[in-house]
Amino acid sequence: MSRLSRPSAGAELRADVVTAERAPDELAQRWHELAVAAGNPFVLPEWHAAWVAAHPADAPLVLVCRERSGDIVGVVPLVLRDRCLLPAGEELADWCGPACAPQDAARVATAVIDALSRTSQRWDVWHLDRCRADGSWLDGLRRAADGSAIKLLPHRGDDVLVEVDLERDGPELTTNKKRRELERLDRRLREAHDVQLRRSTTPAQIEHDLDALLRLRTARWDVSFDAPEESFLRALVGSLERLELLRLWAIDVDGEPAGVLLGWRLGSRAFAYSHAFDRAHERFGIGMALLAHAVRAAADEGCARYDMLRGDEHFKGSFHISTAEVTCYRAVRRRSLARLQAEAFVGARSAYKRLRPQQRERLRRALRI
C-alpha cells in the first residue's frame, strides 16, 4: 500500500491505493462490510477479485479512504485499462459507486478526487458509469472536482434501477387478477409435466444450474458471455456460495432446468441478477413464477428490499416497485487530450438531441453508409 496524496488542509479523509491483485485479509474484511453498508454487490471485494483474476490486462487500483485515526470508512474499487480507470466488471455491473456507509459517500468522494488529482498513476479518464442519482456520491464528486485538476462531464443518457420495498409493500403481485392468472398457469404446467422448484445448494447443483442458465440465456436472447466473463461469473458464484450469500433458484420440468434465476443476498437486500427460461414453457409464465418465488423467499428470510436491478422491463411492473435513476459521467484531467475528446462527445450529443426526428434519421442513415 502506498500513499497517493497527503490530506489537504481541513480534509477529513486521506486516500491510499492498493494495486495488489488480492487485498490483504484485514482490508478485504472491512471492504466487504462497507459494501454491505452501501447495499451494493458490485463493489464487493469478491466481485473485484473475481474480475481481476479473469482479466489480467485490467490492473487493480483500489482507493482506500481512511480517517486520520487510520480507520477505513470507504473503498472505491477500480481497474486501470489502457489509461482508463474503470469499475471492475463495468460491463456487467448494474451500478457503480463507493463501498461505504451512505452518510460517508460525499467525504469519500472528496478524498478520491484529491487523490486522483495528485497521483502519478497514468490515467486519462475515469468512467463513472451508472452512478445512483439519489445519493450524495455524485454531488460530492461534483463539489470536490470544482476548482481541482479534474473535470466531470455528463456522458450519456439515464437508466433506472428497480426494487420492491418488502417491508412497506410486501412480496405479492400488484393485483388479485395477476396472482390468480399465475396460479392458473402453474396448475396447467403441473398437470402436463413433473415440476419441481428448488434452490441450488450443493456444488454439483450450482454448477449444473449455472450451466443451464448460460445455455438458456444464449438460446433466448442470442447473447452469451465471452470466456473471461464466464470465468469471472463462475468464480463470483463460487465466492458467494462460500459466504452463504448465493441465491440460485431453478424450476425443473420433467427433470431438466426450464428456468434459472441467479441472485444473491447482501445484508437486508436480495438481488435478481440474471434470469432466463426455456421458450418452450413461456406460455406457462415460468419466468414470472420463478421471480415471484424468489421475491417471496427473500421476504421470508427477512429482507427489507428485493432489487431487480437495472431496466424498467414490463414484467417488473407486476410487483409493487419503486425506481432510482442512474446516470453516467466521465472524470478527466483538465489538462489532457481526454478532456477535449469528452467535451466534443458532450457537444455532439447535445447537438444531436436538438435535431428534429427527421434530421436524426437522415444523420443515422448517413453514418451507416
91-114 pLDDT, tens digit per residue, is: 899 999 999 999 999 999 999 999
- All domains of the chain in start order, with CATH: 2-159+326-368 (3.40.630), 171-319 (3.40.630.30)
Rounded to two decimals, what is the model's pTM?
0.87
Distances (CA, A) of 199 to 104, 150, 261, 271, 342: 36, 47, 10, 15, 46
Instruction: Compute the distance between CA of residue 172 and CA of residue 320 in angstroms, rounded to an integer.
Output: 8
Residue whose C-alpha cell reads 454531488 in the numeric block: 139
pLDDT at 237: 98
pLDDT at 5: 38
- pLDDT category at 118 given cuts 50, 70, 90 is confident
pLDDT at 4: 37
pLDDT at 239: 97
- Best CA proximity match to 39, nearest among 298, 311, 266: 266
pLDDT at 25: 85
Q: Which amino acid is at 334?
A: R
Question: Rounded to an integer, what is the distance from CA 76 to the centroid of its chain?
Answer: 14
pLDDT tens by residue, 8-63? 433 589 998 888 888 888 899 999 999 999 999 999 999 999 999 999 999 999 99
- pLDDT category at 156 given cuts 50, 70, 90 is confident
Q: Which residue has the higher pLDDT, 121 or 355?
A: 121
Distances (CA, A) of 186 to 125, 193, 272: 51, 10, 21
Q: How many CB atoms lie within 10 A of CB 351?
A: 10
- Rounded mean pLDDT, 136-143: 95
Most confident of 22-26, 155-159, 231-235: 231-235
pLDDT at 171: 97
- Rounded mean pLDDT, 71-79: 97
Burial class (CB in 10 A: 0-12, 13-18, 19+), 230: middle
| pLDDT score of 274 more than 70 | yes
pLDDT at 66: 96
| pLDDT score of 342 more than 60 | no
pLDDT at 128: 94
pLDDT at 349: 54
Alpha-helical runs (H) found in the chain = 25-38, 45-54, 105-118, 137-145, 166-169, 176-192, 203-221, 227-242, 286-301, 337-354, 357-368
Q: Which residue has the higher pLDDT, 247 or 367?
A: 247
| pLDDT score of 225 more than 80 | yes
